[in-house]
Amino acid sequence: ELKVEQNPLFLSMQEGKNYTIYCNYSTTSDRLYWYRQDPGKSLESLFVLLSNGAVKQEGRLMASLDTKARLSTLHITAAVHDLSATYFCAAREGGADGLTFGKGTHLIIQP
């Protein structure tokens, strides 16, 4: 059974700082997803990572995947208040559909 763990679950940081959210998964997964959710809203797709060593960047966010370590990271560079949200990683077990989500990282960026 695929399990996905994120840490930290809660993070308060100041604008301008860098930080990394970690996502570990327990069994082989053929793809890794990152989503953002604002309070009371739906989920917005950020990144899809398909292969070992994959790195994707959008603005101040960069995601990477290490399939051998079963680890994905979401790195935030020079954080700004608008990035405050809950970030979820999710993995898909090979051959199945539907995603297994982590519990989410609630990120607050203070001005």
42 touches another protein by CB under 8 A:
yes
What is the C-alpha to C-alpha distance for residues 31 and 28, in angstroms, rounded to an integer? 9
Beta carbon of residue 111, minimum distance to another protein (angstroms, whole number): 27
Residue window 61-100: x/- pattern of binding to another protein, with contact defined by CB under 8 A: ---------------------------x-x------xxxx
Given the complex with another protein, which of 81 and 103 has the nearer CB atom? Answer: 103
Sign of CA dihedral 99, 65, 107, 105: positive
DSSP-derived pairing of the beta strands 105-110 and 10-14: parallel
The residues with which 105 forms a beta bridge, in sequence order, are: 87
- Binding region for another protein (CB under 8 A): 4, 31, 33, 41-45, 48, 50, 88, 90, 97-104
